[in-house]
Amino acid sequence: MTTNPPPTMVQPGRIRVLKPGSNPNGAVVYWMFRDQRVKDNWALVHAVDEANKRNAPVAVAFNLFDMFKGANARHLGFMLRGLKHLQASLYNSLHIPFFLFQGEAIETIPKFLIECGASLLVTDFTPLREIRKYKEEICKKVGDSVSVHEVDAHNVVPVWEASSKLEYGARTIRSKINKLLPTYLIDYPTLQSPNQRWAFTPPDIHWDKLIQECLKKGAGVSEIDWCEPGETAALDVLMGNQNGFLTKRLKNYATDRNNPLKPRALSGLSPYLHFGQISAQRCAFEARNVRKVAPEAVDAFLEELIVRRELADNFCYYQPHYDSLMGAWEWARNTLMDHASDKREHLYTREQLEKAQTADQLWNASQLEMVHFGKMHGFMRMYWAKKILEWTNGPEEALAIAIYLNDKYEIDGRDPSGYVGCMWSICGVHDQGWRERPVFGKIRYMNYAGCKRKFNVDAYIAYVKRLVVETKKRKAEAGLSSGRDKETRREA
């Protein structure tokens, strides 16, 4: 039976106590990093709830690392513009202050906790190693008085509740997740302002200056202009009246989601999901509400959004080698090593691949779609990564190149789904063995002829050519950053 929690409570299974503390009633700080939103955020709900219990105030803290995981203008522009909106909405709707720090979180967060006499630090969950390590360090640093709680606000079913071990594939995790959906796939409570107000005003954040600095530093990869950052825009992409996925485009998902010529058939939600500007639970909840309209499309969407995405978190959480050949299953490692020295028809360097200088125009088009548009179509991502295996000196090199390019150019890159996407394509993770062939061994193979049977390859190549020309033209005419800044000034 579905048990809805009381209006302001978070299900206990979503919260993990990383460290108990002895101070029962100081301020509460929510260190936000993966779930960058005000609405539909269980970590924020928990922070407010705990603050009220302690009769204490609550603040949100965000630490801007220096080029975290190779972040460039594309990632930083999107994230900071989203955070600028978040700061305003957090204050206007809930009177919660937002503190922005720059530098190392293991320094800035503990220092802030001392300054404000905090009794509790609430943090987001991520399976990626860098932040996990920082969290461990912070727990050691904060002293006996402060408790640290981690909330999985990113997955519909918290990763540790879905499974306590590394899952073999979608087949093994699906029923575990589905069993828990009645508990976790529920609507969110309406969050009210906390009972106590924060005593001091946070320092002003000069967003425009900060954004300009970050854009300059990460100028190697330009911003995208087709995807408005922030949680309002994210909700619009999900269910806006104009062109929302669930309101206007849903039916096409069932028929056209594997056609790279029809990118609008996909939800387009991955940038927002990656930066936490929308909650996967909100997307799933609303999709389920319209299932009657297009059951096949909704079922397929939920499979990707919940099962596949949460399987990726499961992999990165329980497999420390989530981005290397060592993280592959033994059968896959063996077959890849058996074929590592097979003769390749073509061999390309990372630089040639990055510049889309291969003999395969289809592959080049997908690479250019990623470099210029910032989001390669999901179907092409599989072909793209598999070809890298075919054209480089063995699986380790192929994986390193695929991850490097994916993280550098995809707006949704540097994400568990990216590591697992590359591991699936190159190392057979979450897949099975197939008929053995040169280079690939038993790893699933994809080729040009197969793509040609599925969609109009020449039309896709022409489509990307147009996309690149148009993108370059727009940038040359207006200058993307200055165009955005004019808009920012208008809003301010």
Q: What is the DSSP string of 135-159?
A: HHHHHHHS-TT-EEEEE--SSSS-H
Contact positions with ligand FAD (CB under 6 A) in 258-277: 266-270, 273-274
Phi first, then psi, for residue 368 (nearest 5°) are -70, -35
Complex with ligand FAD: residue 191 or 426, whichever CB lies closer: 426
Complex with ligand FAD: residue 21 or 416, whichever CB lies closer: 416
Q: State in angstroms the smallest separation of the CB of 315 from ligand FAD.
A: 10
CA-to-CA distance for 211 and 93, rounded, in angstroms? Answer: 24
Complex with ligand FAD: residue 121 or 227, whichever CB lies closer: 227
Residue 341: helix, strand or coil by DSSP?
A: coil
Complex with ligand FAD: residue 50 or 256, whichever CB lies closer: 256
CA-to-CA distance for 489 and 261, rounded, in angstroms? Answer: 36
Q: State in angstroms the smallest separation of the CB of 323 from ligand FAD.
A: 12
Is there a contact between 225 and 374 (Cβ–Cβ < 8 Å)?
A: no
Residue 7: helix, strand or coil by DSSP?
A: coil
- What DSSP state is assigned to residue 263? G
Complex with ligand FAD: residue 378 or 394, whichever CB lies closer: 378
According to DSSP, the β-strands at 147-151 and 58-64 are unpaired
Residue 421 contacts ligand FAD per CB under 6 A: yes
Complex with ligand FAD: residue 194 or 230, whichever CB lies closer: 230
Find the part of the chain contacting ligand FAD (CB under 6 A) among 126-134, 377-385, 390-398, 480-488: 377-385
Complex with ligand FAD: residue 19 or 282, whichever CB lies closer: 282
Among 100, 382, 405, 457, binds ligand FAD (CB under 6 A): 382
Among 158, 413, 428, 441, binds ligand FAD (CB under 6 A): 413
Phi first, then psi, for residue 100 (nearest 5°) are -110, 125
Print the binding letters for residues 77-116 with ligand FAD: x by CB under 6 A, - otherwise.
----------------------------------------
Q: State in angstroms the smallest separation of the CB of 258 from ligand FAD.
A: 9
Complex with ligand FAD: residue 77 or 268, whichever CB lies closer: 268
Complex with ligand FAD: residue 218 or 268, whichever CB lies closer: 268
Residue 410 contacts ligand FAD per CB under 6 A: yes
Q: State in angstroms the smallest separation of the CB of 272 from ligand FAD.
A: 8
Structure token digits, residue 67: 């080029």
- What DSSP state is assigned to residue 273? H
The burial of 383, by beta-carbon neighbours within 10 Å (0-12 exposed, 13-18 middle, 19 or more buried), is given as: buried
Residue 425 contacts ligand FAD per CB under 6 A: yes
The burial of 361, by beta-carbon neighbours within 10 Å (0-12 exposed, 13-18 middle, 19 or more buried), is given as: middle
Fill in the amino acid letter for 160. Answer: W
Complex with ligand FAD: residue 54 or 372, whichever CB lies closer: 372
CA-to-CA distance for 197 and 189, rounded, in angstroms? Answer: 21
Among 19, 257, 372, 408, binds ligand FAD (CB under 6 A): 257
**Neighbouring-strand partners of residue 147:** 120
Print the binding letters for residues 15-44 with ligand FAD: x by CB under 6 A, - otherwise.
------------------------------
Residue 427, CA atoms < 13 Å, CB-side half-sphere: 25
Q: State in angstroms the smallest separation of the CB of 455 from ligand FAD.
A: 15
Contact positions with ligand FAD (CB under 6 A) in 210-229: none
According to DSSP, the β-strands at 118-124 and 27-31 are parallel
Q: How many residues does the chain have?
A: 492
Structure token digits, residue 361: 């125009």
Residue 191 contacts ligand FAD per CB under 6 A: no
Find the part of the chain contacting ligand FAD (CB under 6 A) among 6-14, 30-38, 122-130, 300-308: 300-308
Among 406, 427, 428, 440, binds ligand FAD (CB under 6 A): 406
Residue 29: helix, strand or coil by DSSP?
A: strand
CA-to-CA distance for 281 and 278, rounded, in angstroms? Answer: 9
Burial 402-424 (b: 16+ CB within 10 A, else e): bbbbbbbbbbbbbbbbbbbbbbb
- Interface residues toward ligand FAD, by CB under 6 A: 257, 266-270, 273-274, 304-305, 308-309, 312, 378, 381-382, 385, 406, 410, 412-413, 415, 417-418, 421-422, 424-425
